[in-house]
């Protein structure tokens, strides 16, 4: 099928440019915002390590592990920055296959996580639990960017939308089988954002949205696990079931309430929440740093998204632009759903808050993605303005 045609390799276009990298094209703001967000993440990990039990830091505590992951993420960030992003475009399809293979491995070997039911989301690598579904989010951005860039000429065709869905299919199903509703939603959200930004036909996107809406009852009845349904229902009946699924919501809202305008101070939070190191970390942040602290973090996210859009706008080619837009879509989607979940605007799904959530794979993936974007900055053809 022609829609899956790979970009032919052209040696000339690969000529290494590292020697004359234009470092003034490096987006220092983007990196700054990312690092500030990581610092907030470290603060939350510290609070969750020390505040909960008021014990001293131990080598296995979230803080220490988060610190180790930060180091790894920074290395990955530097490496991806140096790496010529055009190789990624060339190897988009092998990357896709590797991604699918990793998800299959996760499904076969993964161990269960915390929240509900049997699930296979984690692979233990050298003592670290790694969620390859986090990596899949970034890899799929690269795959989608590669795919949509090749479709550039026929971007308005319905086959662009259909092709994208077919590409999404295998990893999406593998993620759903884990089962990981959160990641599968992020994949869909990212793809929708990228399709939109690539200039795909709004008519077909609208048609797609409506067919998804029509499919919801079927998915509800057949694909969702009981715990997932319970979580969605709990959103609709908050406070009905203070010890069941509604409990998580109540606790999170109570924590946010308890924060007040100025917060109770780092490590002083008292409201215990389920998964408060990971998916519900926003609750801890809101309680301890209060409304103003939360807004600082929120503004940092907005600034980061703004820089992502700016980088995309300036980028020299379609692939680079789409990587930037994909990252922006993914981060926006995750921030909105995660924070919305904690404050009761969205149902409970296992979606991490980028940078802040204590989760190594998530941090490394996002930093890797930002590194790719910086790589496009360094290698763009001409200044945008």
Q: Is 259 in the site for another protein (CB under 8 A)?
A: yes
76 or 300: whose CB is closer to another protein? 300
Q: Is 24 in the site for another protein (CB under 8 A)?
A: no
Q: Is 349 in the site for another protein (CB under 8 A)?
A: no
DSSP state, residue 21: -
Q: Is 318 in the site for another protein (CB under 8 A)?
A: yes
CB–CB of 159/3 below 8 Å? Answer: yes
DSSP state, residue 61: S
- Of 71-130, binders to another protein (CB under 8 A) are 112-118
99 or 160: whose CB is closer to another protein? 160
Based on its alpha-carbon atoms, the radius of gyration of the chain, rounded to whole angstroms, reads 21
Q: Is 268 in the site for another protein (CB under 8 A)?
A: no
Tokens of 206: 């609208």
**Least Å distance between CB 76 and another protein?**
26
What is the end-to-end Cα distance of the chain in Å, rounded? 38
Beta-bridged to residue 128, according to DSSP, are 125
What distance in Å separates the CA atoms of residue 320 and residue 142, rounded to the nearest whole number? 9
Q: Is 173 in the site for another protein (CB under 8 A)?
A: no
Binding mask 180-219 for another protein (x = CB under 8 A): -------------x--xxxx--------------------
Q: Which residue stretch of 102-110, 203-211, 291-299, 363-371 sits at the interface with another protein (rule: CB under 8 A)?
A: 291-299
What distance in Å separates the CA atoms of residue 41 and residue 35, rounded to the nearest whole number? 10
108 or 243: whose CB is closer to another protein? 243
171 or 269: whose CB is closer to another protein? 269
**Least Å distance between CB 327 and another protein?**
12
**Least Å distance between CB 266 and another protein?**
16
Q: Is 239 in the site for another protein (CB under 8 A)?
A: no
Q: Is 316 in the site for another protein (CB under 8 A)?
A: yes
61-69: long-range pairs with CB below 8 Å, 24+: 62/277, 62/358, 65/128, 65/358, 65/360, 66/41, 66/42, 66/358, 66/360, 66/363, 67/42, 68/360, 69/128, 69/360, 69/363, 69/364
Give the three-class secondary structure for 199: coil
**Least Å distance between CB 318 and another protein?**
5
Q: Is 51 in the site for another protein (CB under 8 A)?
A: no
Q: Is 265 in the site for another protein (CB under 8 A)?
A: no
Name the burial class of residue 177, with classes exposed (0-12), middle (13-18) and buried (19+) by CB atoms within 10 angstroms of its CB.
Answer: middle
Helical segments of 224-272, H only: 226-236, 245-259
Q: Is 330 in the site for another protein (CB under 8 A)?
A: no
Q: Is 273 in the site for another protein (CB under 8 A)?
A: yes
**Least Å distance between CB 100 and another protein?**
27
Q: How many residues bind another protein (CB under 8 A)?
A: 78
| Cα–Cα distances in angstroms (integers) from residue 174 to residues 107, 178, 287, 305, in the given order | 7, 7, 36, 29
């Amino acid at each position: 099928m022609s829609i899956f045609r790979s970009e032919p390799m052209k040696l000339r276009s690969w000529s290494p440019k590292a020697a004359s990298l234009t470092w003034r094209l490096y987006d220092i703001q983007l990196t700054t915002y990312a690092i500030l967000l990581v610092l907030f993440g470290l603060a939350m990990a510290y609070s969750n390590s020390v505040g909960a039990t008021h014990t001293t830091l131990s080598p296995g505590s979230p803080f220490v592990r988060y610190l180790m992951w930060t180091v790894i993420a920074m290395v990955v960030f530097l490496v991806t920055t140096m790496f010529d992003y055009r190789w990624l475009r060339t190897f988009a399809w092998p990357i896709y296959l590797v991604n699918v293979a990793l998800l299959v491995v996760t499904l076969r070997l993964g161990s269960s996580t915390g929240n509900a039911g049997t699930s296979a989301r984690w692979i233990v690598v050298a003592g670290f639990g790694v969620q390859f579904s986090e990596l899949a989010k970034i890899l799929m951005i690269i795959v989608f960017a590669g795919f949509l860039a090749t479709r550039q000429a026929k971007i308005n065709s319905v086959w662009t939308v259909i092709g994208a869905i077919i590409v999404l299919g295998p990893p999406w199903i593998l993620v759903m089988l884990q089962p990981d509703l959160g990641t599968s939603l992020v994949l869909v959200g990212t793809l929708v954002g990228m399709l939109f930004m690539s200039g795909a036909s709004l008519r077909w996107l609208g048609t797609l949205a409506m067919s998804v809406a029509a499919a919801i009852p079927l998915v509800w009845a057949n694909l969702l696990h009981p715990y997932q349904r319970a979580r969605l229902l709990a959103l609709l009946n908050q406070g009905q079931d203070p010890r069941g699924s509604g409990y998580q919501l109540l606790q999170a809202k109570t924590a946010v309430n308890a924060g007040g305008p100025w917060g109770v101070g780092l490590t002083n939070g008292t409201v215990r929440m389920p998964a408060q190191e990971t998916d519900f970390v926003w609750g801890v942040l809101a309680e301890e740093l209060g409304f103003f602290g939360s807004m600082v973090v929120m503004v940092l996210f907005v600034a980061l998204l703004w820089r992502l859009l700016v980088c995309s706008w300036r980028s020299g080619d379609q692939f680079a632009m789409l990587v930037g837009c994909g990252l922006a879509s993914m981060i926006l989607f995750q921030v909105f759903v995660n924070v919305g979940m904690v404050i009761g605007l969205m149902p409970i799904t296992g979606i991490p808050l980028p940078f802040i959530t204590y989760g190594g794979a998530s941090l490394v993936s996002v930093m890797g993605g930002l590194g790719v974007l910086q790589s496009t900055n360094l290698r763009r053809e001409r200044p945008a303005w």
